[in-house]
Structure 1
Amino acid sequence: MDYSIRELMEWNEKIEKIARDYGLDFYEQEFEIVSYEEMLSYEAYIGMPSRYPHWSFGKAYERTKTLYRYNLTGLPYEMVINSNPCLAYLMKDNTLLLQILTMAHVYGHNDFFKNNRLFKEGTNADYTIEMFKRHADQIREYIKNPAIGYDEVEKVIDAAHALKLQVNRTIYKCKGEQEQQEGKYKLPEEDLLLFIIKYSDIEDYKKTIVEMIREEALYFIPQIETKIMNEGWASFWHYKILNALNLPPSLHFEFIKRHNDVVSPRVGGLNPYYVGYKIFEDLEQKYGLKKIFEVREVDRDSSFIRRYLTLELCQEMNLFEYVKRDSEYIIKEVSDEEGWKEIRDTLSNNCGMGLVPYIQVVDVERDRTLILEHVFDGRELLLEYAEATLKHFVELWGHPVLLKTQFSGKEYKIYCDEKKCIKRGV
């Protein structure tokens, strides 16, 4: 590290002042400088200082460590937690310019966390760190309990992880919505974990674990729903702030290179930093800063793309849609007068929670067999994964589960109990 902590603090003061002068509104910001080994650990634990023990975190750590060792992936320049105060980690090995850029980037994220409606209405930043610590402590207590133990806790966590995104997609309850009365089913129900918590026959400690996994999933859903906006917003502001810093030439050249690395197109894929940055840049040029602050507050990725991804932007970013036919990939649409709207709509439908199959409870039979229905939107389930997930559902529900879906244009049913899974077309 060829710079001092004092230097970083001085740059941080300058960055914070410029951010406030531009109108950014953020939580108190805290930075922690960590080694690459520590960053690997934080990345595996999704940035949280405290997390319950589970094999999936160790697997994520070893996978990233191996890829990093062989130069097959990089580590994030920073990691930011939606908390109040907002906690961010900076890599100790970063250059001075990279620390300056990532600190400015963090203030963009911080502002987004505090002001975007999905975060305001769906999360409680004051409670974030405490929530994850409480969950970790509680699960460790269950593991230490000789009547429960690690193996039983692991089975419940495995099952709850398989279903963790099958929760309420609206993030928050509508005003005036009443709680369901105990013992009565209000169907259909899209929040599968909540249904298990309320109506399953499993032991109370298992319901408590499911409830904790659900609470953490609800914390992450706003981030899933705003990945393009959030990264685009942070990239837009780090660029503005660093230009306003009047960096010396020795730092300015590296700034341009680093910024271009962050917002460069991704061959064969979609870089959320790039797409979000280009849309916010276009909105500012057309309508001014007031407009982008309004967009930052009210939109999520799906509406952001549908409203503001234009023909000109599609062409500038060279966006196209491709599909797999047999063993080959072919281009379906290009960004011309006829195809750009389909590209926009496909991207809008396939970001955020749009990537997660929409499954809901539609009935409970007298023998407690649970009937699920896949709300079909033209995208078929991967049957191998569907079957594996249903086995986890049986583990949590304690009774058979039947899923109705469509496959090859026909109704398709998958029935699972504790011993077997049966698939059949209708």
Structure 2
Amino acid sequence: MTDYTLAELAGWNDRIEQLAAEFGLDCYQQQFELCSAEDMLCYEAYTGMPSHYPHWSFGKAYERQKTFYQYNLSGLPYEMVINSDPCLAYLMRDNTLLLQILTMAHVYGHNDFFKNNRLFQRDTRAELTLATFKAQADRVRAYIQDPGIGPDKVERILDAAHALRFQVSRTGLAQAYSRQTLEQERAEAVPPRLQHDLLAFLAAKGRLQDWEQDLVTIVHEESLYFVPQLETKIMNEGWASYWHYRILQQLDLPQGLHLEFLQRHNLVVRPHQQQLNPYFVGFKLFEYLDRSLGRDKIKEIRAGERDHSFLRRYLNEELCREMNLFAYAVEGDNVVVAEVADEDGWQLIRDQLANSVGLGGIPAITPVAVEQGELILAHDYDGRELELGYAKETLKHVAALWGDGVKLRTRLAGKEKLICCNRLQEVIIV
């Protein structure tokens, strides 16, 4: 039983939308959909899309989240918003009136960020999002229903592509290419266009049938859609939190709602134990920058940065101290504090945090050569070693898409090593 009517909710949305415009937020047309807790579980498992191709991993995510929710081990998101034009957001029906007001204001912050940040402008087509995901889902279902293909073969290819889903270009969409370029690339083992995009390389050069190539391409295109969200998590959530706070301060809320607003807001932007809360860090940074640089400058920052550059440029000693940030290291079975935010340590803390956000936390693996049919890969070693269990299993997926042996160059314990996987998917380290 909710404590509001749809008419009341629409009235609050009109006031929020007006304030967002007065603050200068530049948004796509906004659409909200009320949904049940069960619906929210489904949307969360399927990355928020109203239409998505089927795969067992989505069902696994749904069952896991449902179990955690039933036993009060985790909650559900207050809202879920999609980078689309019109911008689509889900509100859980069981939310209180204040929570709906807060999340609607939060959504307008995300909406403005999606429309204006350069990564989203460059790498996504918001007006095509929903239609693209539906078309991809229809193609996957058609392959599943094809008697000559079937669900098992589709699952095998999707499993491999999912294991490599973020081994894509880290500088945006691949450059435009012509039919003549494609003809030239056929004679090149590793074309320049694909040197930093392993998944696209395997789609183009792997020994795949047309339908297999299409499945890998679908996963690749979907990954490129999500890369800007990974690369701007702190900024995006900080921007949305900053604006929901500013908007609700101007709504002249009744006393009861205002008290709940303060409680809810503090829950959203509080620091977390044993992990970084992107809402907390992003909100603190934008709040500080608004005070020190002004509203026009933070809009410029919102438009031009990603998390890595945002932290490198604007996370200073004062903020590191205020947020009690520190760096840690693993020594044997113990985790110890390696640096604290003092005059000497804060820059190391900033740099470690900046290097770990977005795709910085995912090893970069690139194709470098083909030797006697075997694919040679290189790990962009930055001082962090590969986790061997994951590396070995992932290399098997690369071999499945490549259709022959694969060797990966990396460093382990300070020495150059080769992780080799043959066509039988037997893995050794030499």
Q: TM-score, normalised by structure 2?
A: 0.97
User: How far off is 1:423 after superposition?
Assistant: 2.6
Q: Cα deviation per residue 1:58-100 (whole Å; 9 max; x = unaligned)? A: 0000000011111111100000000000000001010000000
Partner of 2:26: 25
Q: Which residue of 1 aligns with 2:124?
A: 123
8 Å contact from structure 1 (residues 412, 423) kept in 2: no
**2:409 is the alignment partner of 1:409:** no
Q: Could you tell me whether the CA contact under 8 Å between 2:173 and 2:224 is conserved in 1?
A: no
Query: What is the match of residue 262 of structure 2?
Result: 256
The CA deviation string for residues 267-298 of structure 1, in whole angstroms up to 9 with x for no partner, is 12110000000000000000110010000000
Inter-CA distance 417–302: structure 2 relative to 1 (3 Å threshold) = same
SS in 2 for 1:306: helix
Q: 1:284 to 1:175 in 2, by over 3 A?
A: farther
Question: Identity, % of aligned pairs?
Answer: 56
* Shift in Å, 1:375: 1.0
Equivalent position of 2:152 in the other structure:
151
The one-letter amino acid of 2:245's match is Y
1:234 corresponds to? 240
Residues 333 and 339, structure 1, Cα contact 8 Å, conserved in 2: yes
1:182 aligns with 2:188: no
Q: Distance in 1 between matches of 2:290 and 2:425?
A: 57
Q: Which residue of 2 aligns with 1:281?
A: 287
Aligned to 2:48: 47
State the partner residue of 2:65: 64
Contact 1:413 1:424 in 2 (8 A): yes
8 Å Cα contact 2:367-2:378 kept in structure 1? yes
Distance 1:115 1:419 in 2: 48
Q: What residue identity is the alignment partner of 1:338? A: D
Q: Structure 2 CA distance, aligned partners of 1:127 and 1:422?
A: 41
Alignment partner, residue 338 of structure 1: 344
Aligned to 2:316: 310
The match for 1:267 is: 273
Q: What residue in structure 2 maps to residue 91 of structure 1?
A: 92
Report if the CA contact (8 A) 1:265-1:271 is conserved: yes
Structure 1 distance, partners of 2:35, 2:273, is 31
How far apart in 2 are the matches of 1:288 and 1:147? 62
Partner SS for 1:393: helix
CA apart distance, 1:311: 0.5
Partner of 1:16: 17
User: Aligned to 1:387, which of 392, 397, 403?
Assistant: 392
Tell me the amino acid that sits aligned with residue 322 of structure 2. Answer: E
Q: How far, CA to CA, are the matches of 1:364 and 1:354 in structure 2?
A: 27
Aligned residue among 208, 212, 220 for 2:218: 212
CA distance in 2 between partners of 1:30 and 1:74 (Å): 24
The answer for unaligned runs of 5 or more in structure 1 is none
Q: Give the gaps of 5 or more residues in structure 2.
A: none
Please state if 1:245 is matched with 2:251: yes
How far apart are 1:176 and its partner, in Å?
9.5
Q: TM-score, normalised by structure 1?
A: 0.98
| Matches of 2:359 and 2:334, distance apart in 1 | 27
Corresponding residue pairs, total: 424
Task: Please say if residues 311 and 340 of structure 1, whose CA atoms lie closer than 8 Å, have aligned partners that are also in contact.
Answer: yes
1:245-278 CA-to-partner distances (Å, cap 9, x unmatched) read: 0111010000000000000011121100000000
Contact 1:387–1:421 (CA under 8 A) maintained in structure 2:
no
Find the counterpart in structure 2 of residue 350 from structure 1: 356
Q: CA deviation at 1:172?
A: 2.9
C-alpha contact (below 8 Å) 2:143/2:150 kept by paired residues: yes
Matches within 5 A, 1:128-143: 128-143=129-144
**Over 6 Å off, 4+ runs:** 175-178
